[in-house]
Chain A
Amino acid sequence: MLQRDKDTICAVSTPQGHGGISVIRVSGPRALDVSRALCRFLPKNPESHKAYFGTLTTKDQQVEIDEVLALPFLGSKSFTGEEVVEISCHGNPILVQWILKELVTSGARLAERGEFTYRAFMNGKLDLVQAESVLSMIESQTQQSAQQSLRQLKGGLSEVVENIENELTWCLAHLEASIDFSQEGIEIVSSDELKLRLSKIKTSVDDLMKSYTAGRILREGLQIALAGVPNVGKSSLLNSLMGEEKAIVTDVPGTTRDLVEGAFILGGVRVLLSDTAGLREAQDKVEKIGIQKSLLRQKEADYILFAFDVSREFSEEEAKILEAYPTDKVFLIGNKLDLIGGDTQKATQILKKSPSLSNFFSRIANPEQFFKERVFFVSTFDKKSVDSLRNALSKHVEMSQIEDQTLIMQTRHFENLVKVEALIRAARELVSQDSSAEFIALELKQALILIQEILGKRFDDQIMDRVFKEFCIGK
């Protein structure tokens, strides 16, 4: 743990959610520098307490993010008693996250809960009564800290980070063993192997940073894939969801050979909906390419809407396709409800009892909840049923992607990953220069601490534990 009180920190200081305006506060000795890296319109020596208007860009100035007002508070004449810049931007949570991420890239770190107030107190800007209220804020943070781990994030992310941790520990265990147990005649890692492992770690870290969701969704939109076997009505579903005739609709199986994409706004987020070619043994070459593309698209998708025909038995083939998807991405859409007289209850019963689906449901922790939140029955001729699907999706997008805690944590993780990447690069360079193990270890140990912060763990004796486990040591 490092001394953190001299860091420049940033956070949103307006209530979370969709508002007209969000205010991001940057506080600390480098507040102005860090802000100027994004707000190029700010003069080098701005006036205190004067608002400046301009375009905020990414640090590399490649992308314009938003038009903002920047308000510097210089000297100690601010809420925290430190140099402060307040940036007012448009009140879109994802936009706010993006700006925070860029501030972190430029050298700030995210503020802990209550940290602005804490600094204000330490700098004599608040009295004891106010300070006591800070303490209760800190307390609530402590109670939550147990949950502040990657487990809250979706997908295989925690597995990826744990792999990085594992690889780093491996490298460190070998480096440390080569130092402290050099007399034991144990095998020591070669620099080629070390380089290879570090390169792999670096690739994983790079990939993680790229997958950083908040930024990606804003740039690229949320990816939703429509999937299902041929002729269950995917294309008409797509059209209904988007409200325009985009895909070609016929009753000949295999008509949709390419990806049909459409964009629309859902829960304040741009959604890219792709209709994927019906999955079945393809007959011709064009269709084959279409199917390969759609498999790829489904893998990248944030959500998969798996459509099936309620008038038919859920087939083994469909169940098999379903097996391949992570359950937390899947929505089951029973189409053609009109063919069974619009009886949702009947449709539900059939689905629950379907023998081919029992395997899929057994993978789900809470099937009742799944049925409530992830299973929909629609008829494309019934606008109301499609609307209710759209509303449910929109709610889901908001809940999972914009939920404040998740986003904040993601930015924290990103903050750490930026540093880890630099440390791994430095370590690899040292290996190439044939540096002694302790210098390489210095970089890697810092990287490990940062990775463990993401995992909500604490750096302890695990390197030595690993050494004793793997090597036979002892005189």
Chain B
Amino acid sequence: MSLYDYDLIVVGAGHAGIEACLVGARLGLKTLMVTTNTDRIGYMSCNPSIGGLAKGHMVREIDVLGGEMGLAADATCIQFKRLNSRKGPAVRGSRVQSDKHKYSAFMKKALQNEKHLAVLQGEVKKVLLNGKTCEGVVLQDGSEIRSKAVVLTTGTFLNGVMHVGMTQTPGGRIGDQASHGLSDQLLEAGFEVKRLKTGTPARLHKDSIDWSKTIPQFGDDRFYPFSFKSPHAYQLDQIACYLSRTTEKTHEIIRNNLHLSPMYCGIIEGVGPRYCPSIEDKVVRFADRDSHQTFLEPEGLDSDLIYLQGISTSLPLEVQDQFLRTIPGLENVQVVRYGYAVEYDYFEPTQIWHRLETRPIQRLFLAGQINGTSGYEEAAAQGFVAGINAAHAILNRPEFVLNRDQAYIGVLIDDLVTKGTREPYRMFTSRAEHRLVLREDNTIDRLADLSIKIGLHGAEAVDLLNDLRQRRQDLHEKLQNTKIYPNAETQEKLLSLKTSPLLKSVSYEELLRRAEVDSQSLASLGFDIDLDPNVCEPVEIQVKYAGYIKKQNELIEQTRRLEGLILPDHISYSDIKGLSTEETEKLSRIRPRTLGQAQRISGVNPSAIQAIMIYLKSRRLAGEELPLGKQSK
């Protein structure tokens, strides 16, 4: 009988927990999920949607790497939009609105399908520690479950407190208990624990809304599923969302009741997200605006509940009733669940390695809101990375770290562990300095090799990945190698496409560079083109934006050498001559993984990088060949 009950324990069943569990189980580890409420697996506690700008990118990355989120979102999509479709290819983002109950059910089924995975309802009070190593968890009843690694994905539940008006209730989400004990134990073990705040709007009964006063908003006709494995057709009926706006009256009521808002009378200490302010915040900070838009989003095909996007609040119930009824369409609204704010513990993420293992305690991994992030996609991305790294630690495989020029997931984690965060961290495209090459369309090109190496996909999916890449390559080569000649028929067709006639023969690639020409027009010119959007779109983008992509790649090249220089874990910065006190302190605390990351730490000067280089070279500590010249001796 083994010393361990399980290989891997994942605490939490949210978007991070699910991905972590699935990775463990799919890599053959005996995995246990512990959650306080098995009815809330994969639950969308806030808005019923997946994706969006920069977030959609991460969902695709998770999908190519072998995660579940994309498949679940595709299968439960009831409205799809490609955002920024008129902008450049790098900043287009996919977003689906999901039927949240079907989404939950999809995830539950995915978990059930894994034979190595068990799910247990219970509350984890502590982690089992053997010195500086985590060896399992202790439940509420005192029972111990032993494992080789633990992933914590506790969301908003650690010391969670919900606020409505002046009332505070312990809990991480309406209807669910908070978790106590774990934070205190880790605080004692030397972790820095801080508070954050987030909020959610009211849920309304759909029959109490006068829809005629709202403006319907429809999704796109064309579906670009997140997963390369999903069919290109919608799997469920598609619905509309509805637009309405707050009024002067709404704002007046909110202003008159600010003294009852826990945000405004100092009760809430945690920092909330600036990109997702409560309606109180909007009214106060943007006093000159007389109206704010709100989208009414159905929570599902069979659900009676409407999510009121943009109006999160923690005002008292009667004030919520009052101000909601001043919004056109909501004059007689019936609130099913009121909005509230929640405060919770997070661990300053500069305490974890890129592999999401904590520095103070080995074999303990953190993912999701516990690291100070916000959003389902950010959580799932970390859950996935924590899952792989926990599994790799158990299986004695190398750590899995994505670079900033490889994936948004790499940007996310590097930002967290390098800079820490003071507000709930959300991904934006502007956080990615190499965003022109981190596109949704080239996710497969960026990550397929890595994914196949990780080995989460079945043979069929691997074939599909290879097939897509091969077809893209074939098409690109064919465009380069096939010429179009200026005969009468061609010129006439070109004119009908509103583009100038040819002066001499050119390759189809050259022709495709023209703004007026796209894949469809090439087809109409008689070019035999693979019109599968997973093939022709990425190739078209690669051709049309080649100049920008080249420029971005040059910038990446300039940073790559420092990024490739791994700093040994045990390096002692106080031994390095030439570092200032501030630099020594910061480098020792954050312990950068590469020289590139060291350079991104605020307060670390270029001269410090040189000092470290000389130190490494003189002691021959560098993980690989140094960038300059030959290694001496």
Contact = CB atoms under 8 A, between A and B. Distances in A.
Contact of B602 (A115, A143, A442, A460): A460
Given A119-B628, A475-B295, A439 B548 contact: yes
Contacts of A132: 577
Contact of A472 (B54, B289, B309, B600): B289
Max chain B C-beta neighbours (<10 A), residue from A2, A119, A445: A2
Interface string B46-78: 010000111000000000000000000000000
A206 B426 CA distance: 38
Contacts of B610: 112, 114-115, 118, 138
A20 interface: no
Contacts of B52: 183
B435 A464 contact: no
A230 interface: no
A441 B630 CA distance: 38
B559 interface: yes
A135 B617 CA distance: 13
A370 to B, nearest CB: 35
B578 A436 contact: no
Contacts of A142: 578-580, 583, 605, 607-608, 611
A437 B89 CA distance: 11
Interface string B261-303: 0000000000001111100001001100100110100000000
Interface residues of A, number: 53
- The A interface, classified by DSSP as helix, strand, loop or mixed, is helix
B94 to A, nearest CB: 13
Given A438-B429, A439-B548, A112 B606 contact: yes
Contacts of A183: 52, 83
B629 A81 contact: yes
Interface string A442-471: 100100000000000010100110001000
B4 interface: no
B53 A442 contact: no
A138 B599 CA distance: 16
B551 A135 contact: no
B185 interface: no
A135 B577 contact: yes
Contacts, number: 146
Interface stretch (A50-58, A123-131, A332-340): A123-131
Contacts of B562: 3
Nearest to B428: A180
B88 interface: yes
A128 to B, nearest CB: 5
A179 B90 CA distance: 10
Given A145-B605, A438-B435, A475-B276, A1 B599 contact: yes
A463 B607 CA distance: 26
A381 B385 CA distance: 86
Interface in B555-614: 555, 558-562, 577-580, 583, 599-600, 602, 605-608, 610-611, 613-614
A176 B577 CA distance: 41
B91 interface: yes
A189 interface: no
B430 A463 contact: yes
Interface in A412-451: 435-439, 441-442, 445
B627 interface: yes
Contact of A141 (B53, B310, B429, B607): B607
Given A119-B628, A463-B430, A179 B53 contact: yes
Contacts of A143: 580
Interface in A340-365: none
A73 to B, nearest CB: 16
Nearest to A173: B430
B618 interface: yes
A114 B555 CA distance: 26
B577 A139 contact: yes
A123 B276 CA distance: 52
Max chain A C-beta neighbours (<10 A), residue from B293, B578, B599: B578
Contacts of B275: 181, 468, 473-474
A436 B626 CA distance: 39
B113 interface: no
Contacts of A463: 430
B436 interface: yes
Given A179-B429, A475-B310, A122 B613 contact: yes
Contacts of A4: 606
Contact of B607 (A145, A442, A474): A145
Interface of B: 47, 52-54, 83-84, 87-88, 90-91, 273-277, 282, 285-286, 289, 292-293, 295, 309-310, 428-430, 433, 435-436, 548, 551-552, 555, 558-562, 577-580, 583, 599-600, 602, 605-608, 610-611, 613-614, 617-618, 626-630, 632
Q: 8 tightest CB-CB pairs across the interface, nearest first?
A: A436-B88, A122-B628, A135-B577, A468-B274, A124-B632, A138-B578, A472-B286, A123-B629
Given A122-B626, A135-B577, A464-B430, 10 more contacts: A3-B559, A5-B628, A115-B610, A136-B578, A138-B607, A145-B605, A472-B286, A472-B289, A475-B47, A475-B295
